[in-house]
């Protein structure tokens, strides 16, 4: 029984490791077109087959490979550390801000405590809703990771916002009624020609929603009642007859 448990443990671990390595390799596809065309499952299969091949070799060869693979990891870590220190000291090649000032800017180190930072960093969907009528920045650009969706609810009147303005620049922004949102919503921080997508355009197929897994999307909600009603009807009709709403 112990032998089978040992086998099952390593079988599951091998699949997880193969998937992790495939995801890591696939990330470089954004820089190489031929790699981007390779399916992720094929990369994972290649990793699993490689590990199987290595384990079929003699102990001597296997031990030699382990040594060189370990050396590769050590060299890679040293390179990463040198590059990171170089970026902090000399600056980012793209001109982005670096250095220890990033730790103390915009309110200092953990200005709102540790819990908000942990919650934001681990969330796929972030909803902001404050009652203070002021142009606050309860969410900074550095808190928003690629692929996150934001529901900005608190900015519902002139002079009241919640997000750092630069978040809007890196997001695809959806609104209910542009004329109202440009006065009351988060986009009141932006000029009149700031691009937005109206919610109805997505529902009717005139515009797309999220364009990629890495894209940040933002719903600038100002409480347009007919839009809420229409969205609920759309959701109801979409799930009717499925496992979510069988009747």
Active site residues: 156
What does 148-188 look like in DSSP terms, one character per residue? -EEEE-S--STT-EEE-HHHHHTEEEEES-HHHHHHHSGGG
Query: Three-state SS string across 57-83, please?
Result: CCHHHHHHHHHHHHHHHHHHHHHHHHH
Structure tokens at 55: 């384990």
CA distance 67 to 61: 10
3-class DSSP state of 117: helix
């Amino acid at each position: 029984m112990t032998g089978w448990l040992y086998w099952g443990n390593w079988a599951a671990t091998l699949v997880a490791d193969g998937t992790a390595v495939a995801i890591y390799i696939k990330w470089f596809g954004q820089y190489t077109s031929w790699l981007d065309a390779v399916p992720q499952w094929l990369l994972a299969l290649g990793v699993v087959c490689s590990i199987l091949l290595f384990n079929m070799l003699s102990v001597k060869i296997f031990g030699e490979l382990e040594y060189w693979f370990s050396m590769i990891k050590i060299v890679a870590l040293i390179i990463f550390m040198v590059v990171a220190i170089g970026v902090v000291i000399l600056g980012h090649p793209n001109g982005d801000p670096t250095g220890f000032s990033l730790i103390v800017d915009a309110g200092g180190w953990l200005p709102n405590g540790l819990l908000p930072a942990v919650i934001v960093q681990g969330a796929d969907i972030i909803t902001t809703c404050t009652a203070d009528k002021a142009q606050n920045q309860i969410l900074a650009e550095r808190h928003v990771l690629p692929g996150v969706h934001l529901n900005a609810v608190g900015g519902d009147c002139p002079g009241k916002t919640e997000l750092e303005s630069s978040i809007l620049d890196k997001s695809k922004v959806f609104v209910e009624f542009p004329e109202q949102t440009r006065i009351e919503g988060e986009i009141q921080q932006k000029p009149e020609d700031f691009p937005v997508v109206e919610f109805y355009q997505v529902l009717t197929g005139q515009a797309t929603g999220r364009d990629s897994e890495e894209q940040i999307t933002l719903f600038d909600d100002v409480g347009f009642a007919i839009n809420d009603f229409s969205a609920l009807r759309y959701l109801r009709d979409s799930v009717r007859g499925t496992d979510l709403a069988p009747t």
